[in-house]
Amino acid sequence: MVDLNNISLTEIVKLVKLKKVSSLELTNHYIKNIEKGKKLNCFITTCFDETIKKSKTFDAKKNYDSLLPGIPIAVKDLFCTKDVKTTAGSKILENFVPTYESTVTSNLWKEGAVLLGKLNCDEFAMGSSNETSFFGNVINPIEKDLVPGGSSGGSSSALAASFTPATIGTDTGGSIRQPASFTGTVGLKPTYGLCSRWGIVAFASSLDQAGPMTKNVEDCALMLEAISSYDKKDSTSINKKKENYSKNLNKNIKGMKIGIPKEYRVDNMPKEIEQLWSKGIDILKKSGVKIIDISLPHTKYALPTYYIVAPAEASSNLARYDGVKFGYRSNKGKNLIEMYENTRGEGFGDEVKRRVLIGTYVLSSGYYDAYYLKAQKVRKLIKKDFDNSFKKVDAILTPSTPSSAFKIGEKTSDPISMYLNDIFTVPVNLAGLPAISLPAGQDSKGRPLGLQLISNSLDEQRMLNIAFAIESEIKFKQNLNRWWE
């Protein structure tokens, strides 16, 4: 009997196509895992009856000519799913049931997949440890008291614990890549505009991107192929032909040039991360890749830039949560203004409030030029750094995170220390570039560490190929003892 918990999505799809396993069998397997895994608190909503129904329907038809035939998949609770509760990890949407389906999840169902449930996440995607969710924090399956990363913490945890064979998250400042790194899985943030944002609960419009989270690179290519599409309902969606990322996946990276940015070597960087980075560099050298030292001089300004731009856009995007059209409404308040204030005061958690207030402040009269406008100008400088580098190199290699997963509660008292988790991932979102995190090793405590590849705009195929090559040399293995069952 195949151990479904330890094979890849690609292999599962093969099995389905060979009729060796049915969609219903898969669904039942994941349902069992999920029901035994409630401790991890990965799910906000499950819809098992519907999933079973859909699996049965799939098995009854005989068309397996799709990318994800009958595959049960759970998705981050930031994607609006028709008739299935969508909360964004927030009390203010605790009972919101969309009448529409996001484009990205539509693409999954079009390719034959069926919805398992909605995964926990930091509230409105604001967080790096999945500790800000109204529905409670998520636990990392690697170890009992560890955070799974965030904001796609429910996704990374569920994936690592095999509650779903693959999943999708969103990445605004690292929310796919950082949790991937913390859980020993693969996470990819596409070029801005490659995947549609229509139907995704918006956090920061110029930074948000949906992306795949998988157990290996091959699966990642497959999922990216499934979800990427041009969507004319999204004005920022790039109009280009869909690429066959999985068919064109290969390890031919000889002769490529990979850049190593000196500014990513930060003060007090843990030795293990240095070593991991060197390991990656060595692997690339052995594969015939030329390693080039590059400079991204404005790297240290990326986090401050991000913490102006993202909250500013969020403060405006979250203004629609006012208790009028959907979501929670406070019953305190004698008039409209009081209703607004109480609804949002009671409905939003602390981190969301912090960011909305910062965002409102940096946009307000008298401060706009000094903060928001300034940040947008620095953003251009950060992008130019990358543009200049890509004249010399094909991709850039960095660590994904400045540490492995930390303990629950360890960083919740100081927002800045939490923000520093995203130091390597944030510049990528500011520049709108694609990046992937793949597991590359473990620290002395056995906690996974990831390496990040950053590529030029729309260069996902090459980036996947390089990741594929590194992965096959690293041979990262993670055997979890399922302690939560």
> Under rule CB under 8 A, which residues in 324-353 are in contact with other proteins?
324-329, 333-342, 344-346, 348, 350, 353
Residue 416 CB, nearest approach to other proteins (Å): 5
Q: CA 240 to CA 248: how far, in whole Å?
A: 17
Backbone angles phi, psi at 220, to 5 degrees: -60, -40
Query: Judged by CB, which is closer to other proteins: 101, or 272?
Result: 101
- Tell me whether residue 293 or residue 350 sits nearer to other proteins (CB atom): 350
DSSP 133: -
Local structure of 337: helix, strand or coil: helix
Helices and strands, counts by H and E, the chain: 15, 11
Mark the segment that binds other proteins (CB under 8 A) among 26-34, 55-63, 359-367, 469-477. 359-367
In the complex, minimum distance from the CB of residue 203 to other proteins, in angstroms, rounded to a whole number: 11
103/82 Cα distance (integer angstroms) = 11
Q: Using CA atoms, how far apart are residues 92 and 353, in angstroms rounded to an integer?
A: 12
Mark 185-224 with x for binding to other proteins (rule: CB under 8 A) and - for no binding: -------xx---xxxxxx-xxxx-----------------
Q: Which of 8, 27, 102, 452 binds other proteins (CB under 8 A)?
A: 102
Shortest distance (Å) from residue 458 CB to other proteins: 8
Rounded Cα gap, residues 43 and 163, in angstroms: 10
Q: How far is the CB of 132 from other proteins (least distance, A)?
A: 13
State yes or no: is 133 an active-site residue. Answer: no
Residue 437 CB, nearest distance to other proteins (Å)?
Answer: 21
Which of 175, 229, 287, 315 is catalytic? The answer is 175
Q: Does 358 bind other proteins (CB under 8 A)?
A: yes
d(CA 312, CA 357): 9
Compare residues 93 and 438 and give the one whose CB is closer to other proteins: 93
For residues 123 and 90, is the Cβ–Cβ distance under 8 A?
yes
Is 266 a binder of other proteins (CB under 8 A)?
A: no
- Looking at residues 428 to 467 of the shown chain, list those that interact with other proteins (rule: CB under 8 A): 430-432, 457
The binder of other proteins chosen from 21, 44, 74, 88 (CB under 8 A): 88
Residues 34-63 that bind other proteins (CB under 8 A): none
Taking Cα atoms as reference points, which of 52, 70, 73, 50 lies closest to residue 62?
70
Using CB under 8 A, count the residues that bind other proteins. Answer: 101
How far apart are CB 103 and other proteins at their closest, in Å? 9
Residues 121-160 contacting other proteins, CB under 8 A: none
**Does 76 participate in catalysis according to the annotation?**
yes
Cis bond before residue 151 (omega within 30° of 0): yes
Q: Which residues in 360-379 contact other proteins (CB under 8 A)? A: 360-365, 368, 371-379
Task: Kindly identify the residues of this chain, within the stretch 225-264, that bind other proteins according to CB under 8 A.
Answer: 232-239
C-alpha distances in Å from residue 254, one per residue of 294, 325, 368: 20, 56, 48
Q: Using alpha carbons, list the distances in angstroms from residue 242 to 194, 225, 229, 230.
A: 9, 7, 6, 8
Residues 119, 123, 125, 127, CA torsion sign? negative
Rule CB under 8 A: say whether 70 interacts with other proteins.
no
Which residues, in sequence order, are CB contacts of 16 under 8 Å at separation 6+? Answer: 22, 23, 26, 64, 69, 70, 71
- Neighbour order of strands in the sheet with 257-261: 43-46, 114-119, 72-76, 167-171, 209-214, 186-189, 435-442, 448-455, 395-399, 257-261, 290-294
- Residue 236 CB, nearest approach to other proteins (Å): 4
Closest contact distance (angstroms) between CB of 47 and other proteins is 18
Q: Hey, which residues between 280 and 319 contact other proteins (CB under 8 A)? A: 298, 300-301, 303-305, 307-308, 312-313, 315-316, 318-319
Alpha-helix runs per DSSP H in 161-201: 177-183
| Catalytic residue flag (residue 151) | yes
Distance separating alpha carbons of residues 76 and 164, to the nearest angstrom? 12
Site for other proteins in 412-431 (CB under 8 A): 414-416, 419, 430-431
The pair of structure tokens assigned to 202 is 């918006």
Q: Which residue from 93, 115, 220, 397 is in contact with other proteins, where contact means CB under 8 A?
A: 93
Residue of 55, 128, 133, 151 marked catalytic: 151
Could you give the residue numbers annotated as active site? 76, 151, 175
